[in-house]
Amino acid sequence: MGIDKRTHDREFVRTFFTTPTAEKGVEDSAKKLRGGIGLRGMQAPDVWVPDNEDATAPSMRGEGAENIAKVVAEGGADFPGEIHPRVVWHRDDPETRYEGFEQMLTIADPERGAIDHIDGFVIPEVGDIDDWKKADEFFTLVETEYGLAEGSLAMSVIVESGAAEQAMTKLRDEMGKPTNNLQRLFMLVIGEVDYTKDMRAITPTGSLPSWDEIRHNTSSAASAAGLISVDGPYDDIRDIEGYHERMTDNQSKGLLGIWSLTPTQVVEANKGPLPPEDGYWLIEAGDREVKLEDDDGVQVYRGDRIGLEETDDGYVLTVGGDRLELDDDGVREELLDLVSYVPSMGDIVDSMEEFEAAKEAGRGAIAMTQAATLRIDGVEVDVERDRMWDEATYQALMVPISLFQDVYENRPDQHEELAAMYSEDVVERAMDVGN
């Protein structure tokens, strides 16, 4: 199977949740780990990362490695997601690399009983491809030391340097070479804060740059090498709306996973890439898109930026500062340019089934119609849009469905919440689509 097939158990990772491994001056230094491994349902991440690097004080990391082994040995069997501890590493510091190797040896030691529930390790601060190979070699040594199959431990990296950004373009050539086991690679996770430092970027307020290019490059490299791309942490944990906007932007780049710092962020990020329960219409009001309010099937705009008025010989449409005198067709066209529809999971499943039926009947392309009645300043206008669907459209729109199917197969603990979100019927049909 080509490496550009995602070859791990999970084909999608929505959530990457980190937890400190050992805290000083508390009765149970592993308390947070016990909290993390106890998470279930939408609060439980697809990938849980006991973080023995930045989230844990350097002096506590020895104890942290032992805590990981202990807690995972106890609770790992029942945890619904995958478990990938993060150990220390640095491309510029051999001492740190050796320390990371020792942490892996500790956590994976069969005597500690955690290894059956450890899916892999996360390596931060990697440099160029040869540095990745050093880490891969330690995975191999751990596997042989403990009688595990070579390549059975997944390796994920945090991409937080220009060197690592370049290394991603070499993976397809390097994976599968006789002297490495880089096929073990699983996630490419962006670390924007350290990347910002390595790139020596400055913003006036000290906020993070949006780093569009590294996000694209990571997503593209993941696609080329059959890996999964995950965006870095979103610091302002109170700003749920901003977290959503980041996810939406990521999704448009094929970056479907994101780091979560709190269970609340986990819930948001588990739902983020899934289609909404109910479809809705959007209208471009200046620089922002506004959700229209459904009033008995009529889509109502209540803002002040767009105005509509009926005149004897047509309409006057005002958008921001611009004033347009239009006839019936004109107003329809202008409004059609302003509105768009966000389909629900049910809508997507309906369209998929319709297209599959058309294919059955030997038709390669069909038109899907979206229609709505808009109401602006009390004036109602009917708009309608046709979209041609062919095989490619179908395949492209399969992505959220495939993600849902992957989630449903791998996360039985979320079945109830998913059924509550979408209804049993939609869930069932979504699982059938494409089969």
Q: Residue 278, Cβ neighbours under 10 Å: how many?
A: 12
Q: Residue 39, Cβ neighbours under 10 Å: how many?
A: 20
Q: Which is nearer to a second copy, 402 or 423 (CB)?
A: 402
Strand partners, 302: none
User: ∠ at Cα 264 (159, 255), nearest 5°?
Assistant: 35
- In sign, the C-alpha dihedral spanning 377, 380, 381, 384 is positive
Q: Which is nearer to a second copy, 170 or 429 (CB)?
A: 170
Q: Does 382 bind a second copy (CB under 8 A)?
A: no
Site of tokens 């959700």: 291
Q: Which of residues 328-347 bind a second copy (CB under 8 A)?
A: 337, 340-343
Taking the C-alpha atoms of residue 291 and residue 285, their distance in angstroms, rounded to an integer, is 10
Site string for a second copy, 135-174 (x = CB under 8 A): --------------------------xxx-xx--x--x--
- In sign, the C-alpha dihedral spanning 223, 45, 106, 122 is positive
Taking the C-alpha atoms of residue 244 and residue 213, their distance in angstroms, rounded to an integer, is 20
User: Pick from 28, 78, 92, 245: which binds a second copy (CB under 8 A)?
Assistant: 92
Taking the C-alpha atoms of residue 416 and residue 371, their distance in angstroms, rounded to an integer, is 33
User: At residue 83, what are phi and psi to the nearest 5 degrees?
Assistant: -120, 115
User: Pick from 27, 95, 287, 296: which binds a second copy (CB under 8 A)?
Assistant: 287
Q: Does 369 bind a second copy (CB under 8 A)?
A: no
Q: Which is nearer to a second copy, 2 or 378 (CB)?
A: 2
Q: Is 236 a catalytic residue?
A: no
Q: Which of residues 49-88 bind a second copy (CB under 8 A)?
A: 54, 57, 59
Q: Which is nearer to a second copy, 114 or 306 (CB)?
A: 306
Is 338 in a helix, a strand, or coil? helix
Q: Does 177 bind a second copy (CB under 8 A)?
A: no
Site string for a second copy, 16-55 (x = CB under 8 A): --------x-----------------------------x-
Q: Which of residues 251-270 bind a second copy (CB under 8 A)?
A: 251-254, 256
Q: Which is nearer to a second copy, 12 or 101 (CB)?
A: 12
Q: Does 371 bind a second copy (CB under 8 A)?
A: no
Instruction: Give the helix/strand (H/E) hosting 294.
Output: strand 293-295
Q: How many residues bind a second copy (CB under 8 A)?
A: 90
Catalytic residue among 4, 382, 390, 432: 390
Q: Which of residues 200-219 bind a second copy (CB under 8 A)?
A: 200-209, 212-214, 216-217, 219
Which residues have C-beta within 8 Å of that of residue 166, sequence separation ≥ 6?
Answer: 128
Taking the C-alpha atoms of residue 47 and residue 49, their distance in angstroms, rounded to an integer, is 6
- Candidate segments 140-148, 149-157, 193-201, 422-430, binder of a second copy by CB under 8 A: 193-201
The answer to whether 142 touches 189, Cβ cutoff 8 Å, is no
User: Pick from 35, 110, 176, 320: which binds a second copy (CB under 8 A)?
Assistant: 320
- Looking at the annotation, which residues are catalytic? 390
